[in-house]
Amino acid sequence: MHLIFIDECGYRPDWAAEDAIQEQPVYVVSAVVVPSESAAQLYEAIRDDVAQLKLPETDVRDLGRGQEIRANAVDRGDGFWGRNPELRDSVRRIYLDHQDATYFVVCIDKARHLDKYPFPQDPAYLGLQFLLERIQGFLNETQQLGFVLIDANKRLEQEVRERSYRLLREGSWGIAMSKFYGIPYEWHLEMSNILEIHFGDSKYSLGLQIADFVARHAYSWWKSGKKHDCPGWSYILPRLWKYPDYHGWGYKEFP
């Protein structure tokens, strides 16, 4: 059994507006997959490592139990983090560098998406579909079942609930071009290895906090022009499914 934690970065309801695209040009959704038998050890390792940093106003026993370290504050260097770059780097490592975890990242270029399609889907819904398709592929290949927990975004939750449950019931489908025959064909993917999908608050889940760090730092990496030395990316990259051949598997960029 695998536990799968999902979070996103770069959402705006008015995503197609010119100023929205300029401000947030990419939508990122990430997943962190952890074997269920490794979760407790992973959580305790995070709490123990954070305890060594002696961060102010942080009770490590409460991390994932009502308290969280927010990835966007660490990534931007807000306040305390801007004044303490070494602690900032240490927290990135603690939350992102996990050998037992597998990462998935989907990036949707909003401007290209809007330009390419006459009736483009909201990137938030399309990104979730792409992500769940890859998670199903991973679970099928590893012959495992998965329990999914998504960080609840109040602006998205109801629609995301309906769409994710529809994917569980009906699967995903589309039309692709056969490389062998050179003709289009319709494909269908059942989400048979995903047991359930639920929604939660990252304050009460260390797994969701890790997914928050992955999504936020992948977002900044993309905005940086995909610089390999972008902080945090060096921890994410080798954890992507099928690394080093991760394109289309652990990582998808669309369109």
Q: Over the stretch 81-119, which tens digit does the pLDDT of each residue have?
A: 999 999 999 999 999 999 999 999 999 999 999 999 999
All structural domains of the chain? 2-254 (3.30.420)
Token pair listed for 30: 């990430």
- Give pLDDT, residue 165: 94
CB neighbours of 155 closer than 8 A, spacing ≥ 6?
11, 13
CA dist 139 and 98 (Å) reads 19
Give the pLDDT mean for 2-10: 98
Across-strand partners of 252?
A: 106
Strand (E) or helix (H) holding 92: helix 85-96
Give the pLDDT mean for 9-34: 97
Let me know: does 57 contact 63? Beta carbons within 8 Å: no
- Give pLDDT, residue 155: 84
Q: Quick one: DSSP state of residue 203? A: G
Q: Over the stretch 45-75, which tens digit does the pLDDT of each residue have?
A: 999 999 999 999 999 999 999 999 999 999 9
Nearest to 160 by CA among 1, 13, 48, 60: 13
Q: What is the pTM of this model?
A: 0.95
Measured at the alpha carbon of residue 70, what is the angle toward residues 223 and 136, in degrees to the nearest 5?
70
Token pair listed for 71: 């990835």
Give the pLDDT mean for 152-173: 91
CB neighbours of 176 closer than 8 A, spacing ≥ 6?
184, 185, 187
pLDDT over 80 (residue 147): yes
